[in-house]
Structure 1
C-alpha cells in the first residue's frame, strides 16, 4: 500500500467513521475546498453536518485506485437518520447507499481536493421522500 492510499484509508477510517477531527488537521491541506470555505475546518463542517443527521453512519471501502497524486475510493455507507437531513425531518430509518470519492494530494501528501458522488436520490427514497416530476409547461 502506498502512502497516499494509506492516507485515503485513514481519512475515511478516522474522519468519516470515527469522527477523529484532529486527524483532519493532519490530513487536509489549508486550501482544500469544503463546505462554505477551505481547509480542515471547512471539510469538517460537512462531516459534522452529516453526522448530525446520521450519527451512526459508517463507510466501508470497496475499492481503492491510485494514479499519481490522485486516489479514488469506492465505498458503501449505512446509517440511521436521527437528525434532520436537509428539509427531511428525522425518520429513524436506516439508509444504505454507495458512492465514490476522489482525492487529490499536494506535494506534502495532504488532501488538496475532495470530490464525491453518491446515490443521494436513493437515500431520499429510503427516507420516504416522494419525488414528483414537474408539471408540463401547459399545466397538465
Structure 2
C-alpha cells in the first residue's frame, strides 16, 4: 500500500502499476492496471501537483484500509470545472484487497469530492422553486 501511494499516487511511476495491480482489478472504464492508470492520469491532468499523505493505515490479512489527505492545484479541467489555479485540500479513505502474490485485486475509495468542488467555486444553490 505504501508503495502504491508513493509510486502511483505521488510519483506518477506508471510502470509500478503493472507490478502492483492484478489484471482483473476493477478500474475506470476498464479493468486492471490500465483502468487504474486512466483514473490517475485524469486526476493528474486536472491537478498536476496533487500529493497524497497517509494519515492512517490498517492492514489485516489480505486487506488494507488507508485514510489519506490530498492537496493540489487545479491547473487542468476537472469535470465541468475549467482550470482555476485554486489549491484544494481534501481527505478520503481507500480500501484494498490483495491476492496471494500481493497484487491489488479490488480498490474502493470514498472522498470529499463535494468539498473539492466547493473549493473550486462551484455553486450548489438550487434554482428557485426547486
Q: CA deviation at 1:66?
A: 1.1
Cα offset for 1:31? Answer: 0.2
Q: Displacement, 1:133? A: 3.2
Corresponding residue number in structure 2 for 1:76? 69
Residue aligned with 1:34, SS = coil
Which of 119, 122, 128 is equivalent to 1:129?
Answer: 122
1:61 aligns to what?
54
Ranges in structure 2 where 5+ consecutive residues have no aligned partner: none
CA root-mean-square deviation: 1.1
Distance 1:132 1:34 in 2: 32
TM-score w.r.t. the length of structure 1 is: 0.90
Structure 1 unaligned spans of 5+:
1-7
Q: Aligned to 1:23, what secondary structure does the other structure show?
A: helix
Structure 1 consecutive aligned stretches of length 4 or more whose deviation exceeds 3 Å? none
Structure-1 residue corresponding to 2:101: 108
1:34 pairs with 2:27? yes
TM-score by length of 2: 0.96
Which of the pair has more CA radius of gyration? 1
